[in-house]
Amino acid sequence: FTIDAEMTYLPFCADFGPINLGHTFNFLRKLTGIFTDPTLEGKRIVCCTPRGQAEVTNVIYLLGAFLCLSLSAKPDAAWHPFA
């Protein structure tokens, strides 16, 4: 799945984030919905984004937020898969 079209960051200047709290909340809801969908049980879930540094950074933030806020992972454990 991808979120690029629905969660676009609107920069103030030349920045690229962080993603706002509304986008974070929507991403958590979307990913929770994907993980609770019985038709996807046992399937690998892949989040795709363009290779730009800003987009990748924002998606890593969102995935880390999901791990911490939805799965109660500690921040260092949430960071580990992306290091």
Model pLDDT for residues 7-32, shown as the tens digit of each residue = 666 666 666 666 788 889 999 999 99
Residue 23, classified by CB atoms within 10 Å of its CB into exposed (0-12), middle (13-18) or buried (19+), is buried
What pLDDT, on the 0 to 100 scale, is given for residue 74? 96
- For 57, the token pair is 């950074």
Give the rounded distance of the alpha carbon of 8 from its chain centre. 12
Reported confidence tier of residue 50, pLDDT bands at 50, 70, 90: confident
Asked if 19 and 7 count as a contact pair (C-beta separation under 8 A), the reply is yes
Query: Tokens 């921040």 sit at which residue?
Result: 75
